[in-house]
Amino acid sequence: MKVFIRVTALAAAMLLLAIVGLVATVLVDDDAEATELSDGGGGLQGVPQEFRTWILKADAACDEPALTPALLAAQLYQESKFKTSRAEATSHAGAQGPAQFMPGTWATWGRDDDGNGVSSPWDIGDAVMAQGRMMCSLLKQARSSGYPGDVRALALAGYNAGWGRVEQYGGVPPQSFAGGETYNYVRTILSLMPRFEGPGRLQVSGSGTGPEALRKAATRIGTPYAYGGGGPSGPSTGFCDGTNGYLNGRCAASSTVGFDCSSLVQYAYWPKVKLPRTAEAQYGATSDRPVSRSQLKPGDLLFWAHGGSGYIYHVAMYAGDGNVLHAPRTGKHVEIAPLTSAMPQGDYLGATRP
């Protein structure tokens, strides 16, 4: 049986950096309304909601302890970046769907797990459950094989190149095999796993527009920050404007699929509340409904500006329990962070309720 750890409070120190642009976080009093934070999803984060349920189900169906939700999520990200369209999720070799099954392999592992009457590698449920079954089997083979190395690495190599190649080399095929494809596939997925590991999804008590928006935003924990990226339909690549979107001297936003602060907020409330795109416009659209720090509730928006009532550069969602849900800056991911280490107190402008 897999055991998951409950998280009642999240603490993560964040480097303070005021960036002119579309950024997000929050700073409020500790006596504001508390909201329960818990793992709520097997230590899985940063996964689109339509994949989340199936990843957890596939993990639960396997009694192999080396299989975890984060391993399946990292593998899916490497295979398809959670894409599901035929144009985006068909490889040059003919692999299909978000888990990239070749037709012959699908014939072995594919089933109609979502109950829609069709067994298809393009259906998220069918694909993820088949991925889980195959990885579960490969992990068992790896454990009993006696080959040296991490059983997860061996199983991933078997998934990518076939178990016969693992047997041929007595382990993960070397870099000289297939131009390093399998070797790099294994290394990339194992390095990606921490990105999808807990703390998991934010659990929000109560109903209504604010809590519902916060729950939706929480499904995107772990999604990269992309300046100018994202919108009502989800994350997308962003852009650089000469000042924002750069990392280590290069334009990271144009090649990163993600959200910035205000697009995450817009996504969370859409379509029930159709907020405008930028932090400044969102403040303008909601400023007639101000909220004091002591009365903050889950989903309330908080704003920061340079020079008091000057340029608004930051918006975030109050997450309760002294925490904030936000897309912080280029190079970071959507996360939950302590309120007190979020942004300069002198820049705090106020809070509103959409």
- Res 188: pLDDT: 97
Q: Taking the alpha carbons of 35, 36, 40, 44 in that order, is the dihedral positive or negative? A: positive
Whichever domain contains 330, its CATH number is 3.90.1720.10
Q: In this predicted model, what pLDDT tens digit does every residue of 56-78 receive, in sequence order?
A: 899 889 988 888 899 999 999 99
- 251 shares its domain with 342: yes
Q: In this predicted model, what pLDDT tens digit does every residue of 116-140 receive, in sequence order?
A: 999 999 999 999 999 999 999 999 9
pLDDT at position 6 over 90: no
Comparing 4-18, 77-91, 236-250, 328-342, which segment has the lowest mean pLDDT? Answer: 4-18
- 225 shares its domain with 169: no
Question: What domain range includes position 76?
Answer: 49-196
- Res 208: pLDDT: 93
Q: In this predicted model, what pLDDT tens digit does every residue of 14-53 receive, in sequence order?
A: 332 333 333 333 333 333 333 333 333 446 888 888 998 8
- 185 shares its domain with 219: no
Residues 6+ apart with CB under 8 A from 256: 224, 225, 226, 229, 237, 238
- 138 shares its domain with 223: no
Q: In this predicted model, what pLDDT tens digit does every residue of 257-273 receive, in sequence order?
A: 899 999 999 999 999 99
- 221 shares its domain with 345: yes
Mean pLDDT computed over 306-312: 77
Among residues 196, 217, 236, the one where a domain terminates is 196
- 310 shares its domain with 183: no
**90 vs 322, which has greater pLDDT?**
90
- Res 24: pLDDT: 34
- Res 39: pLDDT: 34
Query: What are phi and psi for residue 186, nearest 5 degrees?
Result: -65, -50
**7 vs 197, which has greater pLDDT?**
197
Among residues 157, 174, 196, the one where a domain terminates is 196
Query: Does residue 202 form part of some domain?
Result: no
- 64 shares its domain with 107: yes
Highest mean pLDDT range out of 168-172, 200-204, 313-317?
Answer: 168-172
Query: Does residue 232 form part of some domain?
Result: yes
Among residues 196, 229, 246, the one where a domain terminates is 196
pLDDT at position 291 over 90: yes
Share of the chain above pLDDT 70, in %: 84
- Res 293: pLDDT: 87
Query: Does residue 293 form part of some domain?
Result: yes
Mean pLDDT computed over 181-195: 94
Q: Taking the alpha carbons of 280, 281, 282, 285 in that order, is the dihedral positive or negative? A: positive
Query: Does residue 81 form part of some domain?
Result: yes
- Asked if residue 222 lies in contact with residue 45, where contact means CB atoms within 8 angstroms, the answer is yes
Query: Does residue 42 form part of some domain?
Result: no
Quick one: the chain helix, strand, coil %, rounded to 5?
35, 15, 50
- 138 shares its domain with 174: yes
Query: Does residue 14 form part of some domain?
Result: no
Mean pLDDT computed over 196-212: 78
H-helix or E-strand containing 323?
A: strand 323-326
Mean pLDDT computed over 189-194: 92
**343 vs 90, which has greater pLDDT?**
90
Looking at residue 112, its amino acid is D
Among all residues, which ones are annotated catalytic?
Answer: 79
Domain count, the chain: 2
CB-based burial label for 288 (10 Å; 0-12, 13-18, 19+): exposed
- 245 shares its domain with 191: no
pLDDT at position 1 over 50: no
**Average of per-residue pLDDT values in the chain:** 84
- Res 219: pLDDT: 77
Confidence of residue 343 (pLDDT cuts 50, 70, 90): confident
Mean pLDDT computed over 137-155: 93
- 93 shares its domain with 191: yes
- 91 shares its domain with 155: yes
Confidence of residue 100 (pLDDT cuts 50, 70, 90): very high
- Res 199: pLDDT: 56
Whichever domain contains 155, its CATH number is 1.10.530.10
- 190 shares its domain with 214: no
- Res 43: pLDDT: 67
User: In the numeric block, which tokens belong to residue 145?
Assistant: 């094989």
Query: Does residue 43 form part of some domain?
Result: no
CA–CA gap between residue 334 and residue 282 (Å, rounded): 19
Query: Does residue 26 form part of some domain?
Result: no
